[in-house]
Amino acid sequence: MEMRNLYPNEVPPMDLLLLADPSEELVKAYLERGACIVAELHGQIIGVYVLLELTAEAVEIVNVAVAEPYQGKGLGKRLVNHAIDHARSQGYVTIEIGTGNSGIGQLALYQKCGFRITTIDQDFFTRNYPEAIYENGIQCRDMIRLSQTIGIK
């Protein structure tokens, strides 16, 4: 499996990106502002994340997603760790990630990759998404923000 940047004229793997965020509008906005990294296996894109610069010192991982048949095999962890190493090699000091209050698996994954919860943006999802989102039988309402220090100022 190869991890690489999306080629300049390559079509982004929208189906995969929409697994992580149901808003095509938001996904497109992230793609315009961020770097899209894909995991490719035998010519097929099976994983993706977008790395977005927040400030000169901080980046955020957005839209991390793994194709359904490949979930639960460690690829999500590889993508998140790849994002951390990539951001560190570019000199960023802090890396952030956000997920919904209902994303139990995502919260487990991010904490296993070294992230700690910093803040909660209450009602982020109810404010920003027209349809109610449910996951694990829980309504997704609040954005849990996590971060970790990856370098020295």
Residues at the site binding ligand COA, with contacts judged by CB under 6 A: 19-20, 64-66, 71-77, 99, 103-106, 108-109, 112
**C-beta closer to ligand COA: residue 6 or 19:** 19
Query: Nearest approach, Cβ of 49 to ligand COA (angstroms)?
Result: 8
Closer residue to ligand COA in complex, CB, 31/109:
109
**Shortest Å, Cβ 76 to ligand COA:** 2
CB of 149 to ligand COA, least distance (A): 21
Nearest approach in angstroms of CB 24 to ligand COA is 15
Q: Which two tokens stand for residue 152?
A: 């020295």
Among 82, 73, 96, 88, residue whose Cα is nearest residue 48: 82
Q: Report in angstroms how near the CB of residue 19 gets to ligand COA at its nearest.
A: 4
Nearer Cβ to ligand COA (64/150): 64
* Residue among 71 and 139 whose Cβ is closer to ligand COA: 71
Distant-in-sequence contacts of 26-31, Cβ < 8 A, 24+ apart = 26/128, 27/63, 30/62, 30/63
Q: Which residue's Cβ lies closest to ligand COA?
A: 76
- Which CB atom, from 15 or from 91, has the smaller least distance to ligand COA? 15
